[in-house]
Amino acid sequence: MKKYSPNDIISVTITAIEPYGAFAIVDDDYTGLIHISEINGKFIKDINKFIKIDSNIKAKVLEVDEDKKQIKLTLKNVKEVRKKNILKEVGSGFEILQKNLPKWINNKKNEINQIKNEKK
């Protein structure tokens, strides 16, 4: 029975980065490679800007070599919420904007009207 199949989304840990791709540990038996062309759909000059050693990420299985226990992986079309991309409201959040926006708009209107009156 196969342990991994194409299109499976699996968790991997990045162990090494080379100019052409990133190596990953999948589990005690399997290793993986994410070729630089499989990071996203755009040209990537420096893979280190997208992947860091020891990071745990989700990847999609492209191919499995059962004899060598190696998996070709991709990050394309893998939906993963990364903690650094989640916005959190801190302190009063938008409350300050809600409270002050009318005052700021009114101040700006007065400033504009004053400039118009000076030009007359």
49-78 tens-digit pLDDT: 888 999 999 999 999 999 999 999 999 988
| Each residue's pLDDT tens digit, 8-32 | 999 999 999 999 999 999 999 999 9
Domain assignments of the chain as residue spans, ordered by start: 9-78, 91-119
Dump pLDDT digits (tens) for 82-97: 444 444 445 555 677 7
Please state which of the four CATH numbers 2.40.50.140, 3.50.50.60, 3.40.50.300, 1.10.260.40 is assigned to the domain occupying 9-78.
2.40.50.140
Residue 8's CB: how many other CB atoms inside 10 A?
Answer: 15
pTM reported for the whole predicted model = 0.63
